[in-house]
């Protein structure tokens, strides 16, 4: 594997995340009047410029674990270490965590298996597993689709085990895998639709009712939605739709992540999920150098990406 591809993904998601941190929870109408155009400091969480949130922290924990053999218990252990011991935090402390993730990590800390720790009821469908799932594509890229789904299911399920969250992660990963393989983004989108629809038709992993919640992505073309019908809350389906919409309606990394962040509300996660796709597709050099240089612990992230790439080459 081209070693840069892991860095494209990790830096892509991290920069998108960091752009959104200062304006998290700010409504869209306010950002329309005063949009984000550059990396900013302070704001919502009072953090220095280039600070990333739990989104990137947990993605980096996953990536670090995948630098060796796949071990769900080890992934979960690293997530708990982030929460308890500030592993992969930008400044040595956790300043943001979702409710479902917090509940799941508490269970894990009490000795619950990662196969049983994630929330399974409908109200547990925040975007907390979608925001961190991207590094998994480098491990599952050469596997049959049934194995890819199984691993996405397990890794999402550490914190978000409801099938809706799992499907969102699966759809995202399937699209990202096609971008990783070098497919043009519109062609990749169409191919992802065909692949996922066929898989769900052949493998009854979800009810028809659950599948229809993804119709705007899988049956229609999310690109053609108007902005008034794109939502940017912490709901997993909305985050998936918003990230695809931003990515498909722009032509470069900068425009994609700024479009995502300026949707408002859950700005760091929408920026992160969009930024992961855009980083993969446009590459590291498409990310403004000032933004990359502002990222806290940039060298550590670069080293992590290199270690992950080296492991994937060796297996």
Please give the domain boundaries of the chain with CATH numbers for all domains: 4-314 (1.10.4080.10)
Q: Quick one: pLDDT at residue 96?
A: 85
Give mean pLDDT, residues 182-210: 96
Q: Quick one: pLDDT at residue 314?
A: 63
Comparing CA positions, the residue from 235, 256, 258, 255 lying closest to residue 244 is: 256
The rounded distance, in Å, linking the Cα atoms of 12 and 176 is 12
Q: Quick one: pLDDT at residue 204?
A: 87
The rounded distance, in Å, linking the Cα atoms of 122 and 164 is 8
Residues 76, 86 contacting (CB under 8 angstroms): no
Give mean pLDDT, residues 124-135: 98
Q: Quick one: pLDDT at residue 311?
A: 82
Q: What is the pTM of this model?
A: 0.97
196-274-120 Cα angle (round to 5): 55
The rounded distance, in Å, linking the Cα atoms of 206 and 210 is 6
pLDDT tens digit sequence for 6-50: 999 999 999 999 999 999 999 999 999 999 999 999 999 999 999
Q: Is the pLDDT of residue 312 over 90?
A: no
Q: Is the pLDDT of residue 315 over 60?
A: no
Q: How far is CA 216 from CA 193, 221, 238, in A?
A: 11, 6, 10
Provide the CA 283 distance to its chain's centre, in angstroms. Answer: 17
Q: Is the pLDDT of residue 105 over 60?
A: yes
Q: Quick one: pLDDT at residue 2?
A: 65
């Amino acid at each position: 594997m081209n070693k840069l591809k892991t860095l494209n993904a990790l830096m892509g998601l991290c920069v998108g995340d960091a752009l959104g941190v200062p304006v998290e929870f700010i409504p869209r109408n306010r950002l329309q009047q005063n949009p984000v155009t550059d990396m900013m400091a302070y704001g919502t969480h009072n953090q220095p410029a280039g600070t990333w949130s739990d989104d990137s922290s947990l993605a980096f924990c996953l990536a670090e674990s995948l630098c060796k053999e796949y071990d769900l218990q080890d992934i979960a252990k690293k997530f708990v270490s982030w929460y308890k011991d500030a592993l992969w935090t930008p400044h040595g402390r956790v300043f943001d965590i979702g409710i479902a993730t917090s509940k799941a990590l508490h269970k894990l800390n009490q000795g619950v298996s990662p196969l049983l720790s994630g929330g399974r009821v409908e109200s547990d469908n925040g975007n907390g597993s979608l925001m961190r799932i991207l590094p998994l594509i480098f491990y599952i890229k050469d596997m049959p689709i049934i194995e890819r789904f199984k691993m996405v299911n397990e890794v999402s399920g550490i914190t978000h085990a409801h099938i809706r969250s799992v499907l969102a992660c699966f759809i995202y990963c399937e699209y990202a895998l096609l971008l990783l393989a070098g497919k043009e983004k519109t062609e990749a989108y169409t191919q992802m639709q065909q692949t996922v629809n066929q898989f769900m038709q052949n493998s009854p992993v979800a009810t028809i009712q659950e599948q229809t919640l993804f119709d705007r992505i899988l049956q229609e073309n999310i690109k053609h939605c108007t902005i008034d019908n794109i939502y940017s809350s912490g709901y997993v389906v909305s985050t998936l739709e918003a990230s695809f919409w931003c990515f498909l309606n722009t032509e470069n990394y900068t425009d994609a992540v700024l479009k995502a962040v300026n949707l408002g509300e859950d700005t760091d996660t929408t920026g992160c999920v969009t930024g992961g796709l855009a980083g993969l597709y446009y590459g590291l050099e498409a990310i403004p150098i000032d933004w990359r240089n502002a990222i806290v612990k940039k060298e550590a992230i670069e080293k992590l990406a290199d270690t992950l790439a080296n492991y994937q080459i060796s297996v």
